[in-house]
Structure 1
């Protein structure tokens, strides 16, 4: 199953490398694009759950790495929830 990492930049400028066990995230994000925080979290939630479901269909169990990545994104996003006009930028993809 093709995997990918996607590099993001949080509203405070810190960068993070995120993991997906499927290239499906490329259908949800565009490199160089800024996403409002809530939209970024929503797109992450949907794409990473689809990715995990694909792993489950192929291997019989959900992808714990995808679900952990989603939890990490949701937790990190909480610190910016009260920041006006908070945006997350998707920088690049790197297929593994």
Structure 2
């Protein structure tokens, strides 16, 4: 499966490189766009769950790296949960 990385910038300016085992991320995010925290979390959940399911369909087990990345994103987002104006930028995709 074609894996990819995508770079995000949290509301405080911190950059993070994220992992997906599938190119499905490209269906949910556009490089250079920023998303409200809730929208970013919903898109991340949808994309990474689909990616994990694709791995499961092919190899018989969900992708622990995709699920771990989702957990990391959810954990990181908690720091901004009291800031409704918080936005997360998707900076780039790297195959």
TM-score normalised over the length of structure 1:
0.98
SS at match of 1:35: strand
- Which residue of the partner structure matches residue 11 of structure 1? 11
SS at match of 2:18: strand
For residues 27-74 of structure 1, what are the alpha-carbon distances to aligned partners after superposition, in whole Å with 9 as ceiling and x for unaligned? 000000010001000100000000000000000000000000000000
Deviation at 1:83, TM superposition (A): 1.5
Deviation at 1:13, TM superposition (A): 0.2
Matches within 5 A, 1:27-66: 27-66=27-66
Runs of at least 5 residues in structure 1 that lack an aligned partner in the other structure = none
Superposition RMSD in Å: 0.5
Write the distance in 2 (CA, Å) between the matches of 1:90 and 1:70.
15
SS at match of 1:43: helix
SS at match of 1:7: strand
Write the distance in 2 (CA, Å) between the matches of 1:83 and 1:46.
22
